[in-house]
C-alpha cells in the first residue's frame, strides 16, 4: 500500500480524476454556491480577487472521498478509522523549516484581506474562515485541534467562535492561570486526514491531543516546525498558516454558520482573534474553505470520528456493524446505524447507546438493516415507512441536551444561551426478527442494476 500523500496538493494530484477543476474566472462571492453543488473535491484555479491563490473544498462529503482520505477502500473505511482511533498516538516529527515557510507575511503584511476567504451565506457582509486550528492545553501540554469559525473583522482581526466543549475548557484554563490571551494557529490546506482527526471529540483530554493522532490515523509520520510569532508548531506541508492570539476579554458579537443549515443561534458573544503572521507556499497556495451550507463538508467532517467511536461501541455489543452515518441531509442532528443482529433486544440497546452519545448530534437515530442503501435518502425513508411499526418500533426520550443549531429545540433560560433542550427519538427500521424474514425481501426487476438505460439511448 502506498503511503498517504504528505500535502494537500499531492493529494489532489493523486486523485485528479475525481477533482472538479474550475479554470474559468470565479468571483469570491460565488465560491460557496458553486462548491455546494458537487460531492467531490473542487479546486478553484482562477479567483478574480486573488489570482495568486487557489481554493479547495468538499474533501470529505461522501464515503468515497472519506475512504480516499485514509488511503483505504470504501468497504474498509469505517472499521479502519475505528481501529486506528484505538491505537497509541504518533506525535509529529519536529524539523527545521518547510514549504509553508516559503512566503512570510509578518507585522502589517499579515493581512487577512489578502487571502481568498469566501462568504458563506446570503446576508453575510464579511468573509468567514473555517480552517482547522491548533491550540495547546496549558496544563497537559497536548495540542488540541478543532474548527473555530472566524468572521474577518479587519485586516488583522477576527471574531472567533469556539463551539467544542474541549476548546472552551482549554480557554478557561488559560483564564484561570491569569492569561488574557491564548496562542493559536490555523491550518489552511492540509491533507483531509488532518481535518478528520482535528474533529475528534471524546475521551482523550489527559492522554493525547488530536494533533498527536494525525500520524496514527494516516499511518505515517507528519512533520512540524516552529511558528513565526506564537509558541506553537505548524505542519510544514500546509498550504497556508495563520498565526495569532485569541483575546478573551475582548468580546464581540459573532455570526454563526450552523451545520443544521439555519441562522441559529442568531448571535454569539465570542473572543477576538489578533493575527500576528501569515505564512504560505510560494507556488499558488491552496486555501481550504469548507462551505457551511447547504449540504457540504460542514455536516460530515465534524462527525467522522463520532461515527468511528460509535462503530467501536456498537461492535462491543456484539453487533456486526456495517455502517454508522451522520448524513449531510440529517443536518448534523440525525444518525443512521446499520447492522445485523442475532435476536430481539439488540436494536433498542443500540438506539439508546447512540441517542446517549456524548455529542448533541443524535436527536433522531434510525437503525436499518444491511440491505438499505445509506447513500440514498429515499431508501432510508422507504425502510422507515415499511419496516417500522410506530407502535412497537419507535420510542421517545424527553428533555435531553438539545443542539444550539436545532430550531425545534426549546431554548433554555437566558443564563444558558444559546443552549437548548429537546426530546430524542429512536426508530427501528430494521428487518424484524419477530416476522418471517422473507416478508422483508425487496422486489426488483429482472437484471436490475445490470441493464443500464443509458446504454439504450
Ligand atoms: Mn480535544
Phi, psi of 31 (to 5 degrees): -60, -40
Q: How far is the CA of 210 from the centre of ligand 1 (A)?
A: 6
All structural domains of the chain with their residue ranges: 87-292, 317-437
**Residues 435-450 pLDDT 10s:** 899 999 999 999 999 9
Phi, psi of 124 (to 5 degrees): -65, 130
Contacts of 194 (CB under 8 A, 6+ apart): 132, 187, 214, 218, 222, 235
Q: How far is the CA of 295 from the centre of ligand 1 (A)?
A: 25
Closest CA to 361 of 331, 321, 337: 331
Provide block-wise average pLDDT over 10 residues at a time, the chain (457 residues). 93 98 98 97 98 98 98 98 96 97 98 97 94 96 93 96 89 96 98 97 79 96 98 98 94 82 90 97 98 96 97 97 97 97 94 96 98 98 98 98 96 95 98 91 96 96
What is the CA angle 297-300-304, rounded to 5?
130
What's the pLDDT at 435? 87
The model's pTM: 0.96
**Residues 310-348 pLDDT 10s:** 999 999 999 999 999 999 999 999 999 999 999 999 999
Compute the half-sphere exposure of residue 290: CA atoms within 13 Å on the CB side of its CA.
Answer: 29
Q: How far is the CA of 140 from the centre of ligand 1 (A)?
A: 12
Distance of CA 148 to the CA centre of its chain: 11
Burial zone of 104 (CB within 10 Å; 0-12 exposed, 13-18 middle, 19+ buried): middle
Q: How far is the CA of 201 from the centre of ligand 1 (A)?
A: 6
Q: How far is the CA of 144 from the centre of ligand 1 (A)?
A: 5
Q: How far is the CA of 320 from the centre of ligand 1 (A)?
A: 29
CB-based contact 230:303 (threshold 8 Å) = no
What are the C-alpha distances in Å from 443 to residues 40, 71, 448?
32, 36, 10
Q: How far is the CA of 199 from the centre of ligand 1 (A)?
A: 8
What's the pLDDT at 205? 64
- pLDDT > 90: what percent of the chain? 91
Q: How far is the CA of 166 from the centre of ligand 1 (A)?
A: 5
- Strand segments, DSSP code E, in 197-307 are 223-226, 233-235, 240-254, 268-280, 286-288
What are the C-alpha distances in Å from 262 to residues 19, 43, 68?
29, 26, 30
Is the N-terminal amide bond of 225 cis, ω within 30° of 0?
no
Closest CA to 264 of 158, 32, 420, 423: 420
Cell numbers for 303: 462527525
Q: How far is the CA of 252 from the centre of ligand 1 (A)?
A: 24
CB-based contact 146:198 (threshold 8 Å) = yes
How would CATH label the architecture of 87-292? Roll (2.30)
Q: How far is the CA of 377 from the centre of ligand 1 (A)?
A: 32
Q: How far is the CA of 405 from the centre of ligand 1 (A)?
A: 21
Topology, domain 317-437: UbiD C-terminal domain-like (3.40.1670)
Amino acid at each position: 500500500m502506498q503511503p498517504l500523500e504528505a500535502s494537500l496538493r499531492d493529494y489532489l494530484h493523486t486523485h485528479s480524476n475525481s477533482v472538479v477543476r474550475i479554470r474559468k474566472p470565479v468571483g469570491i462571492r460565488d465560491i460557496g454556491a458553486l462548491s455546494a453543488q458537487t460531492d467531490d473535491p473542487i479546486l478553484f484555479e482562477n479567483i478574480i480577487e486573488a489570482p495568486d491563490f487557489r481554493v479547495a473544498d468538499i474533501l470529505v462529503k461522501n464515503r468515497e472521498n472519506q475512504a480516499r482520505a485514509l488511503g483505504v477502500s470504501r468497504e474498509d473505511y469505517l472499521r479502519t478509522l475505528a481501529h486506528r482511533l484505538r491505537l497509541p498516538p504518533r506525535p509529529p516529527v519536529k524539523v527545521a523549516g518547510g514549504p509553508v515557510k516559503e512566503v512570510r507575511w509578518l507585522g502589517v503584511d499579515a493581512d487577512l484581506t489578502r487571502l481568498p476567504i469566501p462568504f458563506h451565506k446570503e446576508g453575510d457582509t464579511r468573509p468567514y474562515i473555517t480552517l482547522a486550528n491548533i491550540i495547546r492545553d496549558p496544563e497537559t501540554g497536548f495540542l488540541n485541534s478543532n474548527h473555530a469559525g472566524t468572521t474577518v473583522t479587519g485586516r488583522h482581526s477576527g471574531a472567533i467562535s469556539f463551539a467544542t466543549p474541549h476548546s472552551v475548557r482549554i480557554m478557561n484554563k488559560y483564564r484561570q492561570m491569569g492569561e488574557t490571551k491564548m496562542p493559536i494557529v490555523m491550518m489552511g490546506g492540509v491533507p483531509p486526514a488532518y481535518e478528520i482527526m482535528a474533529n475528534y471529540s471524546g475521551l482523550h483530554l489527559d492522554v493525547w491531543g488530536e494533533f498527536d493522532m494525525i500520524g496514527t490515523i494516516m499511518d505515517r509520520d507528519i512533520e512540524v516546525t516552529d511558528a513565526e510569532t506564537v509558541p506553537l508548531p505548524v505542519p510544514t506541508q500546509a498550504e497556508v498558516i495563520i498565526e495569532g492570539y485569541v483575546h478573551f476579554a475582548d468580546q464581540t458579537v459573532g455570526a454563526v454558520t450552523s451545520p443544521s443549515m439555519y441562522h441559529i443561534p442568531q448571535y454569539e458573544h465570542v473572543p477576538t482573534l489578533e493575527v500576528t503572521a501569515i505564512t504560505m507556499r510560494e507556488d499558488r497556495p491552496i486555501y481550504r474553505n469548507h462551505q457551511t451550507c447547504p449540504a457540504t463538508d460542514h455536516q460530515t467532517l465534524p462527525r467522522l470520528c463520532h461515527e468511528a467511536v460509535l462503530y467501536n461501541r456498537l461492535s462491543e455489543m456484539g453487533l456486526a456493524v456495517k455502517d454508522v452515518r451522520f448524513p449531510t441531509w440529517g443536518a448534523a442532528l440525525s444518525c443512521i446505524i446499520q447492522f445485523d443482529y442475532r435476536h430481539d433486544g439488540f436494536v433498542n440497546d443500540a438506539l439508546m447507546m447512540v441517542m446517549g452519545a456524548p455529542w448533541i448530534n443524535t436527536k433522531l437515530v434510525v437503525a436499518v438493516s444491511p440491505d438499505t442503501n445509506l447513500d440514498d435518502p429515499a431508501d432510508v425513508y422507504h425502510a422507515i415507512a415499511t419496516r417500522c411499526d410506530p407502535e412497537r418500533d419507535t420510542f421517545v426520550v424527553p428533555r435531553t441536551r438539545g443542539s444550539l443549531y436545532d430550531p425545534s429545540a426549546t431554548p433554555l433560560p437566558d443564563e444558558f444561551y444559546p443552549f437548548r433542550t429537546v426530546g430524542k427519538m429512536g426508530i427501528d427500521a430494521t428487518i424484524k426478527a419477530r416476522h418471517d424474514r422473507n416478508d422483508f425481501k425487496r422486489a426488483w426487476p429482472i437484471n436490475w442494476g445490470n441493464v443500464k438505460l443509458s446504454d439504450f439511448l
